[in-house]
Amino acid sequence: MSSTTDRDRGQALAVFVLSLTTVLLAAALAFDAGDMLVERRTEQNAADAAAMAGARYILDSESQAATAARNLAARNGFADGVASQLVHVNIPPTEGQWTGFRNAIEVRIGNTRPSLFGGIMGVAGWPVSARAVAAQFDGVGGPWAFLALHETQCD
């Protein structure tokens, strides 16, 4: 009778180890996915701010607008060519509803986010990217508005 009980304990241990491994892999994947979503949100915030900074100068000079966008992206931690980061500024935008409009600027920020736990499953990193377009037009109309405040003069 003791041999049957020992065999049952061995089966329970094997099932427990397999289940625990599966749960840990799922938790690791969820952690990596959450980290990737945080990176995506950070990139989107930087792309939005960079596009608005560029739109501020778009009527004066395209090169000044592109420089302002790149500088603001860099101040937010995204510089083209640094640590697998990409920052592309297109005037006019190359896709979407504003394609070809000279008074619009498109900012694309991309990065390969290293995987913390996905390496266990053979995933070394996750590609993450964001895109933003801003424009300076009179009478464009639409359900949006924004207010830009000076970064050091307003609390």
d(CA 151, CA 11): 64
Would the pLDDT of 118 be above 80?
Answer: no
Q: What is the pLDDT of residue 92?
A: 92
- The answer to whether residue 3 scores a pLDDT higher than 60 is no
pLDDT value of position 97: 87
Chain-wide mean pLDDT for the chain?
83
How many whole angstroms separate alpha carbon 82 and alpha carbon 80? 6
Band (pLDDT 50/70/90 cuts) for residue 6 is low
Q: Residue 102 pLDDT more than 80?
A: yes
pTM for the predicted model, two decimal places: 0.73
Classified as helix, coil or strand, 15 is helix
Query: Is the per-residue pLDDT at 16 higher than 70?
Result: yes
